[in-house]
Amino acid sequence: MADADTADRILARDAALLTDTVREAGKLALSLFRTELRNWTKGVSSPVSEADIAVNDLVEQRLRSATPEYGWLSEESVDDDSRLGKPLVWIVDPIDGTRAYLAGREDWCVSVALVAGATPVLAAVFAPATDEFFFAIRGQGATRNERPARAAVGAGLDFSRVAGPKPLVQRLSPSTDDITLHPRIGSLALRLCRVADGSLDAAFAGGQSRDWDLAAANLIVQEASGRMTALSGDTIEYNRRDVVHGMLVAAGHDRHARIVEHFRSRPLP
């Protein structure tokens, strides 16, 4: 019992630390929003700005100084394989939706999760431009701005309440008619959180997403009575050597089951 009590106290401590850190990070990102920022491209086409780096530095300093024994994985930090041997790892996207951020749109967020083994146990996604703070503790539910978040129930498919790559989603349509999807949401984490609060019926990721895009939103969806998996229905695992993931879907339980069954019976080429 003492061990369980200790674990609960540590989780409560880390939850408070995460909340304070992500709110502070969001405030910093918002202070730099719609200002003149240096930005560049990393890899083939991934944008990054000095705001991404500043927010990453703040989050890293706050979290790593308070929990030096935890591992660290962030989009804007050099990957350190020592994280693979850590039982607890922070997974961070300082600004998810950098393209939207640099374009002056509001569909971006700060996304941070604490992962135990391969599973998220704490999550915060903060969209400061629209003042939306999503939070979840494993087994304790999810909230949006401190109110319970719940995924939409049912199994129907209203494509105007579905977000994701159109060629992928169109495979769910029973006809060849063109479908109209929900307008694009630049941040993948925020897109998935829209499922958690019931704003969307379903959301898809088209492949090549990374741990930092997904981990926090995954727990928030799960704790909001939804499911988020690979299209095959397989559970998503985090803090592996390869942090790249394939096509994914998030939805309420019944709708998720219908979508997964559809793709199982009609596999992608």
Identify whether residues 112 and 245 lie together within a single domain: no
57 and 80 together in one domain? yes
Reported confidence tier of residue 176, pLDDT bands at 50, 70, 90: low
- Same domain, yes or no: 44 and 104: yes
Q: Which helix (H) or strand (E) holds 147?
A: strand 147-148
State the Cα–Cα distance between residues 246 and 89, nearest whole angstrom: 22
Same domain, 86 and 48: yes
Task: Give CA–CA dist 107/96, Å, rounded.
Answer: 9
17-55 pLDDT per residue, tens: 999 999 999 999 999 999 999 998 987 778 999 999 999
167 and 119 part of one domain: no
Question: b/e string for 46-63 if b means 16 or more Cβ within 10 A?
Answer: ebbbebbebbbebbbebb
Q: Span 164-186, mean pLDDT?
A: 88
Are residues 138 and 249 both part of a single domain?
A: no
Domain boundary among 119, 148, 177: 148
Number of domains in the chain: 2
* Local confidence band at 1 (pLDDT 50, 70, 90 cut-offs): very low
Q: Which of 78, 113, 148 is the last residue of a domain?
A: 148
Quote the CA–CA distance of 255 and 193 in Å, as a whole number.
16
Q: Is the same domain home to 77 and 198?
A: no
Do 186 and 96 form a contact (C-beta atoms < 8 A)? no
Q: What is the pLDDT of residues 60-105, one digit of tens each?
A: 999 999 999 999 999 999 999 999 999 999 999 999 999 999 999 9
| Domain final residue, candidates 118, 148, 178 | 148
* Residue 154 domain flag: no
Longest dimension (CA), the chain: 60
Which distant-in-sequence residues (6+ apart) come within 8 Å of 3 by Cβ?
none
Arithmetic mean of pLDDT over the chain: 94
Question: Are the CB atoms for 60 and 77 separated by under 8 Å?
Answer: yes
User: To the nearest whole percent, how much of the chain has pLDDT over 90?
Assistant: 88
Domain limits for position 166:
159-265
pTM metric for this prediction: 0.95
Question: From the CB of residue 158, how many other CB atoms can be counted at a distance below 10 Å?
Answer: 12
Residue 45 and residue 99 in one domain: yes
CA 148: distance to chain centroid? 18
| Shared-domain flag, residues 144 and 177 | no
Cα angle: 23, vertex 113, 75; to 5 degrees: 90
Q: What confidence tens digit (pLDDT) does each residue in 216-227 have?
A: 999 999 999 999
* 163 & 135 share domain: no
128 and 182 in a common domain = no
Compute the distance between CA of residue 178 and CA of residue 160 in angstroms, rounded to an integer.
12
